[in-house]
Structure 1
Amino acid sequence: MTQLNSTTQSATLSLLRVVSGYLLLVHGTAKILGVPKLEMFTNLPVLSLYGAAGILELILGALILVGLFSRSACFIASGLCAAAYFIGHADSTSILLPLTNGGEAAVLFCFMFLGLSVFGPGRFSIDALLQK
């Protein structure tokens, strides 16, 4: 099993990076471009906290998806998701209970991006191509 893990680890990191980057990108497109159209993001002012988050989600999601500047983009995205949790979900009664405040996705994204910033983008990334 150890040999299997060492040979597939890089490809698995690439898959995790692509899927998580895509999901972050879609959050940004919903907020900024209205695609997919979600009622909660309709008429969202770009010059607002949600608008700024949407722009960051667009840029960081695209960078993470293709694997360019991956470690830095993932680290910043991790902080963005932590901020989203504490600003948008946590309150004084449920700060340690993301299940009750709707913040599970923000917490998972936060730690997933933190892990990708530490372990790297995997071999199927622009960063890996540039290192060769």
Structure 2
Amino acid sequence: MSARLNAAQPYALGLFRIVIGLLFTVHGAASLFGVLGGAAGTHGGTVPAGAWPGWYAAVIQLVAGALVLLGLATRPAALIASGSMAFAYFDVHQQMAFWPIQNGGELSVLFCWTFFLLIFTGSGAFGLDRVVASRRVASPEEERTREPVAA
């Protein structure tokens, strides 16, 4: 049974990455564009452009979330996303109370540690990172032995 679970690990990780990336992307889109209810506590359902730190956080959520969702530059995107969620927790939530359950910071903590994990695991299956890696520049030996491509 353990061997089967190990064989399925890249697929489970890929699905995990897709769901987390989608949730993070939607969170950023809600804050920036007012979709799906918009950002809580803002006028018009969106964060005003350039407002610190909300607008920048929303841009990071949208872009990093989309990259994680696609599995493209997963590790750098996850690093930025994890850092932004750590900042959100310590700058916004921890000022109200120490524990996340008391200060409403559970989502920030969960996203922070989730993205932190993705920094080390990479994209798993279904990610564009694998496609990009497979298209790496061939070595001179590989170039000599490659079949010519018809034009």
TM-score when normalising by structure 2: 0.81
Q: Name 2:41's counterpart in structure 1.
A: 40
The 2-side partners of 1:69 and 1:29 are apart by: 20
- RMSD, aligned α-carbons: 1.4
The 1-side partners of 2:87 and 2:5 are apart by: 33
The percentage of aligned residue pairs carrying the same residue is 38
> 1:31/1:43 Cα in 2 relative to 1: closer, same or farther (>3 Å)?
closer
Query: Which residue of the other structure, out of 40, 47, 51, is the alignment partner of 2:55?
Result: 51
Q: Name 1:15's counterpart in structure 2.
A: 15
> 1:43/1:111 Cα in 2 relative to 1: closer, same or farther (>3 Å)?
closer
Q: Name 1:99's counterpart in structure 2.
A: 101
Query: Which residue of the other structure, out of 72, 76, 100, is the alignment partner of 2:76?
Result: 72
Residue by residue over 1:41-82, the C-alpha shift from the partner in whole angstroms, topping out at 9 and shown as x without a partner, is 425211111011111111101101001000110111110111
> 1:43/1:5 Cα in 2 relative to 1: closer, same or farther (>3 Å)?
closer
Give the unaligned 5+ runs of structure 2: 135-151
Q: Name 2:64's counterpart in structure 1.
A: 60
* Segments of 4+ moved more than 6 angstroms: none
Residue by residue over 1:10-42, the C-alpha shift from the partner in whole angstroms, topping out at 9 and shown as x without a partner, is 011111110110111011101111111234242
The 1-side partners of 2:27 and 2:46 are apart by: 15
Which stretch has the larger CA shift, 30-39 or 16-25? Answer: 30-39
Q: Could you say which structure has the greater relative contact order, defined with CA pairs below 8 angstroms and 6 or more residues apart?
A: 1
Give the unaligned 5+ runs of structure 1: none
* Deviation of the 1:98 alpha carbon: 0.4
